[in-house]
């Protein structure tokens, strides 16, 4: 069954949308694994490999599996934070596990976006990552990446989770067979170098 990833900038409502899919449609949600600043790049990679393993296992038991946040988020954040050393280390680790098919690309991406005011309000409530990222750059990366690979992407405005969940399920298409295409992974690496 399909593995979908709900992604978006911090405090866009990814977890809320994922939980709505769980409540309304019986989806299995693989929770986000927050990575801490200073955490080793290998540990960040291992955490995401475990999330992928769990998603694959549950995809045989549930109609839909939802990754709350992208499993490649450590790479994206290192790039957006302009942390060249971490990005290089993460690239090496993630490429290795990708080639071993211990991690792969989700079948569908849903990019959730919210207004700056909504995100600010949510972050003031203690949500979000320790270090802010530019939402426009984050969105630009995912748009460029997902336009170049054979994985579908939906953009949905946050705020009405019931409507968002219904829209996600309505546009869910058959599973593409591109989870482990190295060309897609290399495309991601190239775009991250340009961000």
C-alpha–C-alpha distance, residues 188 and 76, integer Å: 9
pLDDT digits (tens), the chain, 195 positions = 889 999 988 888 888 899 999 999 999 999 998 877 678 999 999 999 999 999 999 999 998 999 999 999 999 988 988 888 889 999 999 999 999 999 999 988 999 888 778 777 777 765 544 456 778 888 889 988 888 887 777 888 877 778 878 888 887 766 667 889 999 899 999 998 887
Transcribe 130-185 into DSSP letters. Answer: SS---HHHHHHHHHHHHHSSSSEEEEEETT-HHHHHHHHHHT--PPPS-TT-HHHH
Q: Residue 130 has what pLDDT?
A: 46
Report whether 106 contacts 3 (CB < 8 A).
yes
**Strand-pair partners of 105:** none
Q: Find the largest Cα–Cα distance for the chain.
A: 42
Q: Residue 122 has what pLDDT?
A: 75
C-alpha–C-alpha distance, residues 113 and 185, integer Å: 24
Give kind and range of the element (H or E) at residue 59: helix 41-59
* Spans of all domains in the chain: 3-194
C-alpha–C-alpha distance, residues 7 and 57, integer Å: 21
Q: Residue 126 has what pLDDT?
A: 56
Residues near 161 by beta carbon (within 8 Å), at least 6 away in sequence: 13, 16, 17, 19, 20
CATH number of the structural domain 3-194: 3.40.50.300
**SS3 of residue 120 by DSSP:** helix
Q: Residue 146 has what pLDDT?
A: 83
C-alpha–C-alpha distance, residues 188 and 184, integer Å: 6
Pairing of strands 108-113, 3-7: parallel
Q: Residue 30 has what pLDDT?
A: 98
Q: Residue 128 has what pLDDT?
A: 45
Query: Phi then psi for 104, rounded to 5 degrees?
Result: -150, 180
CA gyration radius for the chain?
Answer: 16
């Amino acid at each position: 069954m399909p593995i979908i990833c709900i992604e978006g900038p911090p405090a866009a409502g990814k977890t809320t949308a994922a939980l709505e899919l769980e409540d309304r449609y019986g989806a299995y949600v693989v929770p986000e694994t927050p990575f801490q600043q200073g955490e080793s790049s290998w540990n960040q990679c291992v955490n995401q490999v475990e999330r992928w393993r769990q998603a694959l296992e549950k995809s045989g038991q549930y109609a839909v599996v939802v990754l709350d946040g992208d499993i490649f988020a450590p790479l994206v954040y290192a790039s957006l934070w302009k942390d060249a050393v971490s990005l290089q280390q993460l690239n090496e680790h993630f490429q290795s596990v990708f080639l071993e098919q211990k991690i792969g690309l989700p079948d569908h991406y849903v990019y959730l976006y919210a207004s700056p005011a909504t995100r600010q309000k949510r972050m003031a409530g203690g949500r979000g990552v320790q270090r802010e990222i530019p939402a426009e750059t984050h969105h630009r990366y995912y748009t460029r990446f997902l336009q170049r690979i054979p994985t579908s992407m939906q953009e949905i405005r946050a705020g009405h989770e019931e409507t968002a969940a219904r829209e996600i399920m309505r546009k869910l298409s058959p599973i593409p067979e591109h989870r482990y295409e190295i060309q897609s992974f290399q495309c991601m690496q190239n775009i991250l170098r340009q961000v």
